Amino acid sequence: MFNRFFFLFVIILNFNISSWVTAENKILFKVNDEIITTIDISNEINYLILVNPKIQELEQSEILEIAKNNLIKEKIKEIELLKNFDKIKINDEQLELLVKNTYNNIGLNNIDQFKEHLKNNNIKLKLIKEKITLNIFWKQFIYSKYKNQIIIDKEKIAKDIKNKKTRIYDLSEILFFLDNDESFSEKYNIIKSSIKKNGFENTALVYSKAESSEIGGKIGWINETAISNKILLELNSININSHTNPISVQGGFLILKINDYKDEKKQSDAEKEIAKVINIKMNEQINQFSNLFINRLKKNIIINET
């Protein structure tokens, strides 16, 4: 279906994307009636490089596939949200705080540095704000839709944090699903071979369906009290720089890599740590419900090459 798409962009990437799309912006495909153009793909690639420069280590066709899938997912979110709301908007103060978090995460100190960095990478601040707004609004929507199914044992979390020494893991993830015509062993062998050849981060960029995929599957530091016993058992069986076997989770399979870990003494600010762990568990379940819901919506979405 997308042969023409790849043909066009193999040509584009062999030259200069920005100058090519400026000269001629083409509609590549439609998600229902929402169009995705060469400029959209170019902007998405620039954005992916901004948040995770390692993506440039991948093959051109893989980068294009990631950009295409990200844009399709965004269009699905937009279509569904606009069925339920007049517009997609979040509080201005919240947006500015999230923009600050974004530029701090790439090592910049203020908005002026960020604007200059975006300009050098041919990205508009408006695009960053639109992506942040869409993702936060979508998470709020998913939470409101599934909040009665989100289960968090706050008492257990508080007890674990206050009463014992805990281990904190720096983790990365690959979340994958099986298509109708795929077997588990076939899909896992492909992913395992890619990890061996391209590394865990680049494999996450290509194959992971988690929100973290665009930053190479990086989750960051997580207290073991925020991790289920089932997953913790797998983590306890591997070493730093190793990854687990696929763990069955709601709707798919999860592979975790330990980048590092450290043992932490009893928290001086237990309440703050409790709130942090609750937030991690909340986001984890929201992401699971989000993936399931998007997969369900996708079955009724028409994607056509133009």
Q: Which of 212, 215, 236, 201 is nearest to 288 (CA)?
A: 212
Which of 145, 172, 204 lies at the terminal end of a domain, its last residue? 145
Question: Does residue 250 lie in a domain region?
Answer: yes
Q: Tens digit of pLDDT for each residue in 213-263?
A: 989 999 999 988 888 888 999 999 999 999 999 999 877 899 999 999 998
Same domain as 113, residue 172 = no
The CA-based angle 94-97-98, given to 5 degrees, is 85
Domains of the chain: total = 2
- Crossing angle (nearest 10°) for helices 38-51 and 60-84: 100
Same domain as 253, residue 215 = yes
> What is the largest distance, in Å, between two alpha-carbon atoms of the chain?
64
Containing domain of residue 171, as a range? 154-298
Question: Each residue's pLDDT tens digit in the chain (306 positions)?
Answer: 444 444 444 444 443 444 444 446 788 888 998 889 889 999 999 999 888 888 888 888 888 889 999 999 999 999 999 999 999 999 999 999 999 998 888 888 999 999 999 999 889 999 999 999 999 999 999 999 999 999 998 888 888 777 666 789 999 999 999 887 888 999 999 999 999 999 999 999 999 999 899 899 999 999 888 888 889 999 999 999 999 999 998 778 999 999 999 987 655 577 888 888 898 889 989 999 999 999 999 888 888 876
Instruction: Give the domain CATH number at 177.
Output: 3.10.50.40
